[in-house]
């Protein structure tokens, strides 16, 4: 619970709550609550949420990748890991797997951008990049003002099983 009347700034109180969560509940590489999520949960302004994340970054607990989110660092890590697969490629890979295993059926829509943003806790642009990758590979197609749909199986790539998860 935040003390809004005390002498400790809200952003410092929030950063301490988040620090405790990181230590108790999250692992290196896990996505940390977004600035928008902090705003909603703690009923604070975006600048307050940003300052709370900045404190965690300064402490070396997290790193931020623009358009993707803020992630927990491994002990001793001070920035993003080298050669890490971008989050949009992970999202595309998960959607591709759902298409391949039949969870998402041909000619049926993908979840909306908004639903994917909520599901993965990422920026809308990250979701759009994932869908664009799937479209380029032939897994999905988009209909203006309607959304993206799973392509029929004959359009699926035959030689790209690991394209979304490069080595």
Q: Domain coordinates of the chain in residue numbers? A: 10-72, 87-155
Fold designation for 87-155: Arc Repressor Mutant, subunit A (1.10.10)
* Long-range pairs, 113-119, Cβ under 8 A, ≥24: 116/91
Which residue's entry shows tokens 């959607």? Answer: 95
Q: pLDDT at position 113, please?
A: 93
SS3 label, residue 10: helix
Average pLDDT (39-50) is: 95
State yes or no: pLDDT of 165 exceeds 60: no
Look up the pTM and report it.
0.50
State yes or no: pLDDT of 163 exceeds 80: no
Fold designation for 10-72: Arc Repressor Mutant, subunit A (1.10.10)
Categorize the per-residue pLDDT at 162 as very low, low, confident or very high, splitting at 50, 70 and 90. very low
Pairing type for strands 62-65 and 147-150 reads unpaired
Domains 10-72 and 87-155 share a fold: yes
């Amino acid at each position: 619970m935040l003390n809004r009347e005390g002498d400790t700034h809200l952003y410092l109180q929030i950063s301490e709550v988040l620090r405790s969560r990181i230590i108790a509940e999250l692992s290196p590489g896990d996505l940390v609550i977004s600035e928008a999520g902090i705003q909603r949960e703690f009923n604070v302004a975006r600048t307050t949420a940003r300052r709370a994340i900045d404190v965690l970054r300064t402490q070396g607990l997290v790193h931020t990748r623009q358009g993707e989110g803020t992630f927990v660092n491994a002990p001793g890590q001070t920035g993003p890991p080298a050669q890490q697969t971008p989050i949009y490629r992970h999202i595309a890979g998960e959607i591709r797997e759902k298409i391949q295993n039949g969870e998402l059926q041909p000619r049926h829509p993908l979840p909306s951008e908004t639903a994917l943003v909520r599901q993965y806790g990422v920026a809308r642009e990250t979701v759009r990049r994932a869908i664009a990758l799937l479209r380029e590979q032939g897994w999905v197609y988009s209909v203006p003002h309607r959304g993206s749909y799973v392509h029929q199986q004959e359009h699926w790539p035959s030689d790209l099983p690991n394209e979304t998860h490069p080595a």
